[in-house]
Structure 1
Amino acid sequence: MPTKQITTDKRDKQKPTSRFQRLWAEAETLARDNAELEKGLDAVVSRINEDIFTAERQLGETIRLFVYRQLEFAHKKSLAKWQRNELNDWINENLSELLAMGLLDEPLQEQLAILRAAEMDIDLDPDSERSAVEQLDDYFGSEAGEPGDEEQGNRSDDLFGEDEDLDDTFEDDEDELAELLRKLHAEFEGAQESMDTPTPPKKKPISDKVFRRLFQQTAAALHPDKETDQSRREEKHALMSELLTARKEHDLITILKLHEQYVNADSDLNSDDEQALEEVLVEYLNQQRERIDEIVSQSPLHQMAFSQFYHKTPATVTRRIDAHLEKIGAKQDALLTVLASVKTLKSFKEILTARYDTQIMRNDWF
């Protein structure tokens, strides 16, 4: 909404813009921008859920198919060491993407456990009721500690119990001394801070007289009985309800907003009143600045939307989303091409060689 001048004389001559008017204009602009940001960011999040996540899930299904194909070749004994390392790196990259998409399901984890067990010469029982993942966990769990460790530890405690108690006594004394020093240091720092930091001036409260004057001027302008047009009458009735709620809650900012938009009367506030109103506006302005971070940080999806796709211009948002969708589509097409072309171990080795050479060139370049 456009911000009018608060103080105008009857001849419509504008007085110089006051600090209060400048603060009000800045706060209203920021509040309007925040409202647009919140609405626009929610719209981008909706498009991410509908368009981008749909495309990424389709890509994820293709990646999962490709990982199954990779696992088939990973069991081949004829792979050279560098080929197996390159394949493992490639599988891990794909698994990271599937994990981020929530597509790393139990069947795929089962196949990965079987492959890892084979690589480490761990025998899994195919007839066991426990899955390969559980058997592998059991194996590493049993390897984590040797039998008798706990008993040996208990014997050590018995042998050195007296010395341990003595050490604990010294440690307790040291802890008490450290805590005492910490408290003394904190008290010293607090005293220094109180000496170095000037006491902020006490805020002047808004007087009830000013509050009533703003309310009465606004209520007079918004009274619905003065309107003969029914639609206008209903609009003012809603505005009056908002004003009454603001008075009940002592919401000065809402009263100021309504006063700024609908009241044409001169403002006869004194300097103290204006200073108190300025302090309210500064606080409101700071709240609007903090509101930007709250809007962007309300969820990881909102942060993603803001950093990658959001723009005030809808056409720019669409262009950024379309560009991202093109990248997803290109990656899926490339994977489908590989899936269609890789039928034998020989053809798969050729792709591994090409990937390996590309990685070497990239490392040499950087």
Structure 2
Amino acid sequence: MEITLKPARGNKTATSKLQKRFDRLCSQVESAEKRNRNLDSQLDELVRRHDELMREVDQGIKPELEKLGNRLVDFLTRKTLSRRQRQELADWIGDVGMRLETSDRDAAWALHERFHAAMDAVYGGLEDVDEASDALEDGIDDLFGDNDADYDDDAYDEDDEEWPGPEDAFDEGFAGAGWQQRDGFSASESSSKLTDPGWVRSLFRKAAQALHPDREIDDQKRAGREQRMQQLLAARKQGDLLTMLKLYAEAVGSDEVQIGEKDMEDACDMLRFRLSELKMTHDELVCRTPTHLFLYREVYSPSKKKREQNLRRLQRTLQEDADQFRGVAEKLRNLKVLKEYLEKRRHPLPGDADLDDLLRFLGV
């Protein structure tokens, strides 16, 4: 379908520029829509494969994780541990428990029970329990909590914090960087704020009248009309001008739609708004979960070959990290060695920074 400017007298150069601007915006919108569709499916596939890799790696070190977790719990009741050291130790137990849970939830729960018994031995007899200890136990409960438990949507307020977006969220035609969630403002909601010009409302009404299912007697054709009607309603809600124009052209049986100069200027404004919507949708896809964000930064590429290369690199990194668990329990012979490990966890070496960031995104 072709959307063109109605022939007009006067400055044809200006008219030509307006048509080119409209065509360019149309092309950008179509490219952005395609990019988002690809990103959605490809990123979900990366998450699935990442989870498989994590299960395989953690299954291979399950005995080491159980041994290490139990050894760490043994140290919890030592009186010579400072509050800071005990908290770091509890965090370490939580990290081990999260990894153990991917391969054996029963073993993870047994570790959870041992942890609570040790914490009761430390704090249970005290009348004045430090608030930090309560918060620490709550944190471990969250780490080991039942993944199947109902999530309380009311427990989280979107306005309480802002989430940083990817630094390079708008590569390949998307301009800008650094996205923040804006007070519950999402792409789907923002589009409803668009006040479409009168000619668009008129176009919508004409298309809706032509596509109305009640105009069709045949059941199969009626179902097709109902589907297109739903597309039309969704397009108007989202401010998707191109889809509305295409459905209108289909409804009136024309391969070309001509609009006036003022209407085309309005259309350009709507297309620019649509581009901003698609940019927000792009970031929402990327920031859906911490795992999505991590994989977008470290693995994702529009190129399948590059994604596969990055996945192999990630697999090697995960395996190298898993190998570091081997033999750790045996090395923890006494409190002196334990405290050295705890200090290293608190202050990793400069060369470990990238790996540390990677593991934090993985929940390790």
Give the TM-score, by structure 2 length.
0.52
Name 2:3's counterpart in structure 1.
6
Shift of 1:34: 0.7
What is aligned with 1:267?
257
Verify the 8 A CA contact 1:59 1:328 in the aligned structure 2: no
Partner of 2:290: 300
- CA change 1:76–1:93 in 2 (3 A) is closer
Is 2:245 the partner of 1:256?
Answer: yes
Matched residue SS, 2:300: coil
Distance 1:286 1:61, change over 3 A: farther
Any idea what the Cα deviations from partners look like across 1:187-216, whole Å, max 9, x if unmatched? xxxxxxxxxxxxxxx974225654577789
Q: Take 2:128 and 2:340, find their aligned partners in 1: how far apart are those partners?
A: 39
Which residue in 2 is equivalent to 1:143?
128
- Across the aligned residues of Structure 1 and Structure 2, the Cα RMSD in angstroms comes to 5.2
Unaligned runs of 5+ in 1: 10-14, 114-130, 146-201, 220-233
1:311–1:317 contact (8 Å) kept in structure 2: yes
Change (3 A) 1:274 1:74: closer
1:329 CA displacement: 2.1
Distance 1:270 1:246, change over 3 A: same
Write the distance in 1 (CA, Å) between the matches of 2:317 and 2:129: 44
For 2:121 and 2:68, locate their aligned partners in 1 and report how far apart those are by CA, in whole Å.
26
Please give the secondary structure, in 1, of the residue aligned with 2:259.
coil
- How far apart are the structure 2 equivalents of 1:329 and 1:243? 50
Render the CA deviation track for 1:114-172: whole Å, top value 9, x for unaligned.
Answer: xxxxxxxxxxxxxxxxx5544544313x2359xxxxxxxxxxxxxxxxxxxxxxxxxxx
Q: 1:312 to 1:292 in 2, by over 3 A?
A: same
Higher helix share: 1
Return closer, same or farther for 1:137/1:109 CA change in 2, 3 Å cut-off.
farther
Task: State the 1:90 CA deviation.
Answer: 8.4
| CA displacement at 1:102 relative to structure 2 | 6.6
Question: CA separation in 1, counterparts of 2:20 and 2:210?
Answer: 20
Which residue pairs with 1:288 in the alignment? Answer: 278
* Residues 69, 97 of structure 2: 8 Å contact kept: no
In 1, Cα distance between equivalents of 2:309 and 2:327: 27
Tell me the distance in 2 between the aligned counterparts of 1:333 and 1:239: 57
Q: Give, in angstroms, the shift of residue 36 of structure 1.
A: 0.7
2:314 maps to 1:328? no
In the other structure, the counterpart of 2:199 is 206
- For 1:248 and 1:361, locate their aligned partners in 2 and report how far apart those are by CA, in whole Å: 54
Q: How does 1:1-366 map to 2 (within 5 A)?
A: 6-7=3-4, 17-56=19-58, 58-59=60-61, 61-69=63-71, 91=89, 94-101=92-99, 103=101, 105=108, 107-109=110-112, 111=114, 131-140=117-126, 142-144=127-129, 204-206=197-199, 210-211=203-204, 242-246=227-231, 251=236, 252-258=241-247, 265-337=255-327, 342=330, 345=333
Tell which structure's C-alpha radius of gyration is larger. Answer: 1
| Aligned CA distance change for structure 1 residues 356 and 52 (closer, same or farther; 3 Å) | closer
Taking the aligned partners of 2:331 and 2:283, their CA distance within structure 1 comes to 52
Secondary structure of 1:268's counterpart equals: strand
Please list every run of 5 or more consecutive structure 2 residues that lacks an aligned counterpart in the other structure.
7-15, 102-106, 131-194, 213-219, 354-364
**Percent identity (aligned):** 17
Q: CA separation in 2, counterparts of 1:7 and 1:344? A: 75
Once residues 108 and 102 of structure 1 are traced to their aligned partners in structure 2, the CA distance between those partners, rounded to angstroms, is: 9
Partner of 1:323: helix, strand, or coil?
helix
Does 1 or 2 have the higher relative contact order (CA < 8 Å, sep 6+)? 1
